[in-house]
Amino acid sequence: MYTGFKHLHSTLAYVLLAGLLISIVYVLFAYLQNKAYNRKMALLGLICAHLQLVVGLAIYFVSPLGIKGASGEAMKISTARLYFLEHPLMMLIAIVLITVGYSKAKKLTVAKKQNGTVLAFYLIALILILSRIPWHVWPAGLAG
């Protein structure tokens, strides 16, 4: 089960990065060209994020690197700290930002503001995500 979740989480990372980028580029152009807000294009990034959240939470409890790897000693080891603390926490914050951005935009009525809101929240989330991906194993880690 662990291996299955790990591969799924690793693959969904591509799906999320692609989905988020498509959402961001779309709302960026809509914002710049004063076009209508397209909720479905923002929904793409949101769904990818929620899917990865569920799988991430599952992997956190089955992986030896997740909750089982948490200890005071592990706190001093940067790779261990990344997996049991920094990565899950930062990804959680990013996914909350995506959800808040999407929800705020849903309540607004002016297209320019809707596009701007999604753009800002999704962009910050993307930066946070990129900051805590375990780059030393991914994408190369997909095989292992």
List contacts with ligand HEM (CB under 6 A): 6, 9-10, 13, 16, 43, 46-47, 50-54, 56-57, 59-60, 63, 65-66, 83, 87-88, 91-92, 94-95, 99, 103, 106, 129, 133-134, 137-138, 141-142
Q: List Cβ neighbours of 17 (8 Å cut-off, separation of 6 or more).
A: 126, 129
Give 5 or 28: the residue with its C-beta nearer to ligand HEM.
5
Q: Where are the beta strands (DSSP E) in the chain?
A: none
Cα separation, 7 vs 107, in Å, equals 36
CB of 35 to ligand HEM, least distance (A): 20
- Measured in residues, the chain has a length of 144
Give 32 or 57: the residue with its C-beta nearer to ligand HEM.
57
Cα separation, 98 vs 26, in Å, equals 15
Give 35 or 106: the residue with its C-beta nearer to ligand HEM.
106
- Residue 139: cis peptide before it, omega within 30 degrees of 0: yes
Rg for the chain (alpha carbons), in Å?
A: 17
Give 30 or 59: the residue with its C-beta nearer to ligand HEM.
59
CB of 32 to ligand HEM, least distance (A): 25
Task: Map residue 7 onto helix, strand or coil.
Answer: helix
CB of 27 to ligand HEM, least distance (A): 15
CB of 109 to ligand HEM, least distance (A): 16
Q: List Cβ neighbours of 109 (8 Å cut-off, separation of 6 or more).
A: none
CB of 135 to ligand HEM, least distance (A): 8
